[in-house]
């Protein structure tokens, strides 16, 4: 079974699966870690989620993979990331770049 990112559905190469810089576990209900279901996300998707949503928003409105995938705020990002092979992008840099436009 290949591991894929739950959000962008890109395949994680086997040799990176144990690399926390490439794949991370996301708690669908942040701050309720003990009871929260988790999903595997590639690092860019995980960084992006936490850059765009507060823990409260995640917990209240986006606590399933389906709602995250359907979130308006993520559509541009998902379209973009699906076209790349990158597993370690610097999200804080791209946010800064966006603000300068
Ligand atoms: Zn991803
Ligand atoms: Zn997370």
Domain residue ranges in the chain: 14-85
pLDDT over threshold 60, residue 11:
yes
Mean pLDDT of the chain: 88
Q: In the numeric block, which tokens belong to residue 66?
A: 């389906």
Of 20, 17, 75, 30, nearest to 48 by C-alpha is 75
Ligand nearest to the backbone CA of 8: 1
Of 75, 32, 76, 68, nearest to 50 by C-alpha is 68
Task: Find the 100 Cα to ligand 2 centroid distance in Å.
Answer: 27
| Each residue's pLDDT tens digit, 47-94 | 999 999 999 999 999 999 999 999 999 999 999 999 998 887 666 555
pLDDT over threshold 70, residue 97:
no
The mean per-residue pLDDT over the stretch 92-97 comes to: 54
With beta carbons less than 8 A apart as the criterion, state whether 58 and 30 touch: yes
| Share of residues in the chain with pLDDT > 70 (%) | 87
Supply the pLDDT for residue 100: 56
Task: Find the 95 Cα to ligand 1 centroid distance in Å.
Answer: 17
Neighbours of 68 (CB within 10 A): 23
**Residue written as token pair 């576990």:** 25
């Amino acid at each position: 079974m290949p591991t894929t990112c739950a959000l962008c559905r890109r395949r994680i190469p086997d040799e990176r699966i144990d690399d926390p810089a490439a794949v991370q576990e996301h708690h669908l209900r942040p701050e309720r870690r003990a009871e929260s279901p988790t999903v595997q996300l590639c690092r860019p998707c995980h960084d992006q989620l936490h850059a765009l949503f507060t823990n409260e928003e995640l917990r209240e409105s986006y606590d399933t993979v389906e709602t995250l995938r359907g979130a308006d705020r993520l559509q541009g990002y998902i379209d973009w990331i699906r076209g790349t092979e990158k597993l370690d992008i610097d999200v804080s840099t791209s946010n800064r770049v966006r603000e300068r436009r």
